[in-house]
Structure 1
Amino acid sequence: MKWILTPLMAMLCTAALAQNTGKITGKVIDANTKTAIDYATISINPEGSIKPSGGTITDDKGSFVVDKLADGRYSVVINFIGYQDYTAGPFNIKQNTVNIGTISLQPLSKELSAVTVTAKTPMVENRIDKMVYNAANDITSQGGVALDVLKKVPQVSVDIDGNVELQGNTSVRFLINSKPSSVFGSSLPDVLASLPASQIKSIEVITSPGAKYDARGLGGIINIILKDNKVRGINGAVNLSAGTRMENGSANLNVRTGNFGVSAFFSGNAQVNTRTLNLNDHTSVNEQGNSTRLIQDGYSNFRRGGYESGINFDWSLSKRDNVSGSFGYDNFSNRNQGFTAQQQQTTGLANVLSQRNSFSKFNAGTYDWSLDYKHNFKTDGQELEVLYTSSFGNNNSAYNQSQVYNGQNNPFSASASNNPGTDKETNVSIDYTHPLSKDVILETGAKTVLQYINSTADVTAYNPKTGVYAFDPNQSYHLNYDRKIYAGYVSLGFTAFNFFDIKAGGRLEHTDTHVDFPGTVIPSYNTWVPTAVISHKLSDASSIKISYTKRVERAEYRELNPFVNLSDPYNISTGNPLLKPEIGNVFELGYNKSFQAGGNLYIALFSRHNSNDVKTYTSFYSEYRVGDSVYHNVSVTNRQNIGTEQNTGISISGSIPFGKKVNLRTNTTVTDKYIVNKVYGGPTVNAIVVRTNLNLTYQFSDTFVAEAFGNYNSPMKNIQGRTPKFITYNLAIRKQFMSKKVSVGFVTTNPFAKYVNQVTTITQAATTSGQQYTSYSLRRIPYQSFGISLSWRFGKLEFKKQKEQDTSVKQIDN
């Protein structure tokens, strides 16, 4: 990667020599409710000129910073729809920082018949600590699900099974509305495939989280922000879609009056029955040179469904105190029914022909609730926040399978299992922000995470001699999993030499995990997590940053759970209760550039070093004992700490407008992956991995848009063979009617190919006993789909004027 890193680093360092160090800061709030106004427009006008020389928008706390100002006198113009414009200044700038304080915008008092809003936030925003993909602006994805949106998010890639990578790393921490949820611990692909895109406002990508964030997630954090509405009035939306592969619908309602608002939503999703074709070809050779070959040819019918519901409230108790809360219930499920024809060929023996029937299902129902209190002190920027979140989930997985020789009626092997469980998680955090001066901000806080999981596995095995199923105590168990994490952090944000903006801090986490599995003791440990981000604004349109953070990935319950899945007795999977936490050190150098025509570019160089690297590993056994049963010629797969992994790469994302009608967006990540297998003595792995997509939109008119989207994931060499490439493409159109309140869309995925073929190989070199193993697997996944969607927005937005004139209300059509 040196040929990429050297010239780009030279370019960034040269650009950093730019000057102009003046800065203007402030905060914007509603004059009546005293709540922050986000996305207000801030324009900086030189004295004597009405043409802005720079500007920005307020963040979610109403704060703004405009820096890189040359010496001179400037006025600050603030405007936001539904409020009176405000002008402050002029202020004298001479390589200094001017804080104009808190500005209270007055709501308009006149009644307006209708307003057409033409300004909108860009599709992608790059901020100092995160990248934001404004999914609400992506109208061609509104009929899909969260996975469809994630495919378009910079630095994120999604494979055909719904597994998400961030900068090439699958260890990602997911949040909803900046809050954790135990629902992500049950089945992440099911959750992301059941969350309608129409419910998503934006997706935040945080590759170098600060000390305030949990250390979990080697790749970083993906925060899914659901839609809400903090403007007064009654409004809502209904979204429906139907297709050959996926169906979903959602509805939400927002009501706000005065200082109180409430919103509710319901969404449902179903993946209709799809048949995937499977071919597995396994060959093993023992120390005597005799080979055993197993060919499995069959299919599996898969269905998925889920729904989400929730209610949220927001209450401004006073101009300095705010309370918000939420309650929700989610349910996700899937089921898989399959048939496999099996042929076993062994040296010197006749072929053995058999059939296997299998069935498996999964269901998870989760309750989530939260309560958040914020207090703003008299000093601007001084804030205290106390957040309580909790969730409770009921999970259940089950399977049954039977194998019968061709020409016979009774099975020679069969088993069944039922695996119910509960998942409880509670998070309590306290965060405090204190401005030590105009340019120095102190943040500190503490957090407690309490997680308790209860799991029961009841296994019954078939006895071919008696012809009955009997409870198998050697495979059945009851498991309690108890994890407590205690954390504290401190960070400092400041400006150095009127040139660099720095935010650095540290977080200490103590982890205590108990699993009552016989012979398993997990020692408690402390993790010190330093973080630092240094940024420099080259101009109003460009900036650079360099960051470092330490991350940790603790083994989750499903990876630790020793439950043996025998739904396919020739391909067994199980957990590993001895997994150690994986530690990652992450460096990133980024350059951001915005163009006057509306385009943007972000280039990031990153390096990630992981120790105690966790990988899925498959071993072959000529004999494998589970309880009193012995299985022959089987492969066993679980997760293991295999050594170290070094990822170095470049991520490029950008948007290029071609005139007013055509826009091209791209998201490309190239990673040089180097894996050292220290446990099994296997060879090191060095591979180049490419993840890229292109998104082309054409705006026929203000209400009619078409889109083409293509996604490519390259094949990858790993410690045991090769994982497959992945290519998909989408075509979509959307037409809006009735002042954009109603829209109809059509989308198709892979319209010219019914199946996406996935080939995976596994190779196990000769062991000390002389045994070798190779595996070839082909999955033909029916990914082709056609669908239509309908969206309807209703209601009006209202902006009340000053308290003494509350009898007059103006309305804006939504």
Structure 2
Amino acid sequence: MKKTTLLLLCLFTSTFLLAQSPPLKGITITGKVVDANSNQPLEYATVVLKNTKTQKITGGITDDKGLFKVQTSKGTYQISVEFISFKTINFPVQEILANKKLGIIKLKEDASSLDEVVVIAEKSTVDIRLDKKIYNVGKDMTVKGGTASDVLDNVPSVDVDPEGVVSLRGSENVRILIDGKPSALVGLSGADALKQLPSDAIERVEVITSPSARYDSEGTAGILNIILRKGKASGFNGSVNVTVGDPKNYQTAVNLNLRTEKINVFTNLGYSDNGSPGVYDSDVTYLSNGAIDSVRIENRDNDRSRKGFNANFGLEYYLNKKSSITGTIFVRDSDGKNISYNNISSFDNANTNLYNSTRIQDEGETDETLQFSLNYVNNFNENGHKLTLDWQHSASKENESAIITDINPETNATNELSIDNLVQADYVLPIGKNAQFEAGYRGSFQDLTSDYLVIAPNLDPAYNPSNNLEFTQNVNAFYTQFGSKINKFSYLLGIRTEITNIDIKLLNTNENYNKKYTDFFPTVNFGYELTENQSFTLGYSKRLRRPHSRYLNPFESRESEVIFSKGNVNLDPTYTNSFDLGYLNKFGKVTLNSSIYYQHSTNNIARVNSQETRFVNGKETNVLVRQPINLASEERAGFEFTANYNASKKVRFSGSFNFYQFETEGEYTYNVTDLNTNAVTPVTQNFDTKNNSWFTRFDAKITLPWDIQSQTRIFYRGPKDDAQSDVKGILSANLAFSKDILKDKATLVLNVSDLFNTRKYQVTGYAPSRENPTNITDQTFQRRMRQVSLNFTYRFNQNKNQKERKSGGNREDEGGDEF
């Protein structure tokens, strides 16, 4: 056992160093390693070359397609190919004097060897690919016991603000997929749903900033593809994960997997009981002819709690060696509660107190999701010729209710139900050795109903936000693309057509709206390998942003007595042309990935603040109304780089930096009615602005004495200004320690999130405009305080760093995009 472990350690160390070293002059040995049972490529398989004369050992490892290329000198070699839990293949000793192709090498499983191997190749936290960045969750201690929102917040190029809004390269219009497809797991409210998905259920996150035609055109900033865990190891194995934390954070997760020759059964079960205290402070200064007229101060303490259960059950059945069918069922049920105490005070221009009140809001929310999916894959041959078919049906129900105690008591309730269906087909045809043709269809169909009811005795009927909405959106998409590689140059050209049909019914007012549009979305991706360790990429894509149902619903929802939000039924899609130039360089122990990007958007959707005068508590009061509008255009340009430095086996550093500049043009005109004279005054707001912002993160992993692993992460987002607001910078830090116990079958992780309790959102807003404001709002928002948690993970019949094999199921991250 010890000899085997030592040999594997030596082999891994030597091959890893060889993979990082400059290429040798001489001959090249190539091939592809696949699973003999499923014909799926085996990534990180080890190829060992032993010179029988000098006894020198060289070699390499396979990439994500199972391909390897080893450069060495002429000589007589003993060649072997190895992969964890598979039987090693040894080639006869042979003299190699010229380039040699070993072809497709099929490895067979060896389940009995699982318990004999301890040292396994460890993947880095971030894998840099030519077309994407892949963030591997398993190695990140700072998200243990967290949620999908925490995972995304630690991904390079991605930021999650304290309200849970996800942005990519500074843009909030990012498409979030689950296993390459739209999913009910993202939920009706997006940000809140991500907080309910435990981090332990996520295997990796793919950041795709220049998507090819096979992807949805939705998301002008790009795509975040969340890949869930699906065990592929032979036999029965799994893990149990338990977390306790303060503020209240109790979680448990169970991952189980059973694989035989004909079936693979996998499941993820999770339960959480979390509390999240937070604060929200707001000071509104009302101006009259530039002088202070009055001030309204709100100090709100929030006490949030949520209990939730989620389960994912899957069965993959191998019809034969080339085809399989997979069925999965996902269930989520959560119950949330939020009690807020809002102390409100109002003062006149002489600082005389006008009135005080305490607004108590007791909210309850239930979320239920049920999703079924089927996937069929047929690999016609071993060269990548395949057909995949997908069907997915989901139902998501979200019910919210609130009882508000104030001078004017109020009760409101929201009931939403969304039925979503997806049908998809993808066909891949390799042409020759270095070319590939793809074509496919995707149909996504959504039916959503929303019922919002407000009961308040003193509510002005003219501004009663109660409404009932029916929203239907059907999108039929067709795509085709062709890619090829010519020596060091590769390209991928594609075109996607999407036919959108949207129906909106406002049942309260008997109004119907219909929107139909057909769009074409070309994509172009080029790649050039300057050397084995240096490459350039250039990508272009046209993308769009469709307004979702809440952005289109013209009825108001009330955030407070003086702050309202509503949609805009006249919103049109935003169209964006994106360009991305990337450079990848691996030298020694350093990997550097950098890019320059530019985006030009028309009909840009932006949320604006307008001011109206209404009676609040019997007093004529200026209120703030927020709604989305189409502005003329927006230009966004920036650069980013990500660096990984493996100083030694015990010290690893990584960091990223993103700087971007944005320029917006457009104006918005609305009418203000005087309550006393009913005179209507048009107000025009100019949104022409040009500004910049940046964010950076630094990550250090250091092995301490007694094999304690430590991880420190520091994040800073710079200040950001636009036509109506100033947002201050945010600094936060996470710290974690990990220790393997019970003969490496279990791991303890101590995690401190937001170490200095500084993750607060601070913004100053100007309405109707920065130049001529009639009210200035200063807000401070902190959704979650510093949290300390302890996580325990126990693994059975599997090793800590065991490499899972890829499923034969359909994933959008496979195939095509590597040209």
TM (normalized to structure 2)?
0.84
Distance 1:576 1:271, change over 3 A: farther
1:191-218 deviations in Å (ceiling 9; x for gaps)? 3223222222211111111100111111
Partner of 1:141: 143
1:457 and 2:447 correspond: no
Number of residues paired by the alignment?
A: 757
1:660 and 2:649 correspond: yes
Cα deviation for residue 359 of structure 1 reads 3.0
1:177 and 2:205 correspond: no
Following superposition of structure 1 onto structure 2, how do residues 126-205 of structure 1 map, counting pairs within 5 Å? 126-205=128-207
Residues 722-731 or 35-44, more deviating: 35-44
Q: What code does the residue aligned with 2:485 have? A: T
1:650-707 deviations in Å (ceiling 9; x for gaps)? 1111111233322111121111122223335425222221111111111126842012
Q: What code does the residue aligned with 2:567 have? A: G
1:633 and 2:622 correspond: yes
Residues 47-56 or 233-242, more deviating: 47-56
Partner of 1:606: 597
Report if aligned partners of 1:715, 1:722 keep a CA contact under 8 Å in 2: yes
Report if aligned partners of 1:396, 1:421 keep a CA contact under 8 Å in 2: yes
Residues 26-35 or 725-734, more deviating: 26-35
Give the whole-Å Cα distance in 2 for the aligned partners of 1:376 and 1:145: 35
Report if aligned partners of 1:241, 1:248 keep a CA contact under 8 Å in 2: yes
Give the whole-Å Cα distance in 2 for the aligned partners of 1:21 and 1:206: 36
1:282 and 2:275 correspond: no
Partner of 2:731: 727
Give the whole-Å Cα distance in 1 for the aligned partners of 2:29 and 2:373: 36
Distance 1:435 1:766, change over 3 A: closer
Report if aligned partners of 1:194, 1:305 keep a CA contact under 8 Å in 2: no
1:441 and 2:441 correspond: no
Residues 76-85 or 609-618, more deviating: 76-85
Q: What code does the residue aligned with 2:660 have? A: T
1:130-186 deviations in Å (ceiling 9; x for gaps)? 211111122443233223332332211222222222111111111222232123242
Partner of 2:123: 121
Give the whole-Å Cα distance in 1 for the aligned partners of 2:351 and 2:488: 78
Partner of 1:407: none
Give the whole-Å Cα distance in 2 for the aligned partners of 1:49 and 1:603: 41
1:209-254 deviations in Å (ceiling 9; x for gaps)? 1100111111211112222221211111111111112332211111
Match of 1:572 among 542, 546, 564: 564
Following superposition of structure 1 onto structure 2, how do residues 6-45 of structure 1 map, counting pairs within 5 Å? 27-41=32-46
Matched residue of 1:395: which SS?
strand
Partner of 2:814: none
Distance 1:723 1:45, change over 3 A: farther
Partner of 1:15: none
Q: What code does the residue aligned with 2:580 have? A: E
Give the whole-Å Cα distance in 2 for the aligned partners of 1:532 and 1:215: 14
1:585-616 deviations in Å (ceiling 9; x for gaps)? 1111111223443x322111111222211122
Partner of 1:270: 273
1:607-637 deviations in Å (ceiling 9; x for gaps)? 1222211122111111389xxx998321111
Cα deviation for residue 322 of structure 1 reads 1.1
Give the whole-Å Cα distance in 2 for the aligned partners of 1:210 and 1:534: 11
Cα deviation for residue 525 of structure 1 reads 0.7
Cα deviation for residue 796 of structure 1 reads 5.2
Give the whole-Å Cα distance in 1 for the aligned partners of 2:413 and 2:738: 45
Q: CA RMSD in A?
A: 3.6
Give the whole-Å Cα distance in 1 for the aligned partners of 2:43 and 2:518: 38
1:343 and 2:345 correspond: yes
Following superposition of structure 1 onto structure 2, how do residues 78-97 of structure 1 map, counting pairs within 5 Å? 78-81=81-84, 82-85=86-89, 87=91
Partner of 1:478: 468
Cα deviation for residue 439 of structure 1 reads 1.4
Residues 568-577 or 344-353, more deviating: 344-353
Residues 547-556 or 635-644, more deviating: 635-644
Match of 1:384 among 360, 383, 387: 387
Q: What code does the residue aligned with 1:459 have? A: V
Give the whole-Å Cα distance in 1 for the aligned partners of 2:255 and 2:120: 24
Partner of 1:3: none
Q: What code does the residue aligned with 2:543 have? A: R
Partner of 2:606: 615
Match of 1:777 among 779, 782, 787: 779
Match of 2:525 among 533, 552, 558: 533
Unaligned runs of 5+ residues in structure 1 are 1-17, 405-412, 465-469, 800-814
Report if aligned partners of 1:336, 1:359 keep a CA contact under 8 Å in 2: yes
Give the whole-Å Cα distance in 1 for the aligned partners of 2:154 and 2:782: 24
Cα deviation for residue 77 of structure 1 reads 5.7
Partner of 1:295: 297
Partner of 2:633: 644
1:509 and 2:498 correspond: yes
Matched residue of 2:124: which SS?
coil
Unaligned runs of 5+ residues in structure 2 are 1-22, 669-683, 804-819
Give the whole-Å Cα distance in 2 for the aligned partners of 1:441 and 1:642: 40
Give the whole-Å Cα distance in 2 for the aligned partners of 1:630 and 1:183: 45
Partner of 2:750: 746
Q: What code does the residue aligned with 1:57 have? A: T
Report if aligned partners of 2:766, 2:773 keep a CA contact under 8 Å in 1: no
Report if aligned partners of 2:688, 2:723 keep a CA contact under 8 Å in 1: yes
Give the whole-Å Cα distance in 2 for the aligned partners of 1:606 and 1:19: 35
Distance 1:349 1:607, change over 3 A: closer
Report if aligned partners of 2:286, 2:292 keep a CA contact under 8 Å in 1: no
Match of 1:415 among 410, 417, 420: 410
Report if aligned partners of 2:243, 2:791 keep a CA contact under 8 Å in 1: yes
Report if aligned partners of 2:141, 2:751 keep a CA contact under 8 Å in 1: no
Give the whole-Å Cα distance in 2 for the aligned partners of 1:210 and 1:635: 41
Report if aligned partners of 2:667, 2:687 keep a CA contact under 8 Å in 1: no
Matched residue of 1:539: which SS?
coil
1:253 and 2:256 correspond: yes
Cα deviation for residue 536 of structure 1 reads 1.7
Matched residue of 2:797: which SS?
strand
Give the whole-Å Cα distance in 2 for the aligned partners of 1:657 and 1:642: 46
Matched residue of 1:122: which SS?
coil
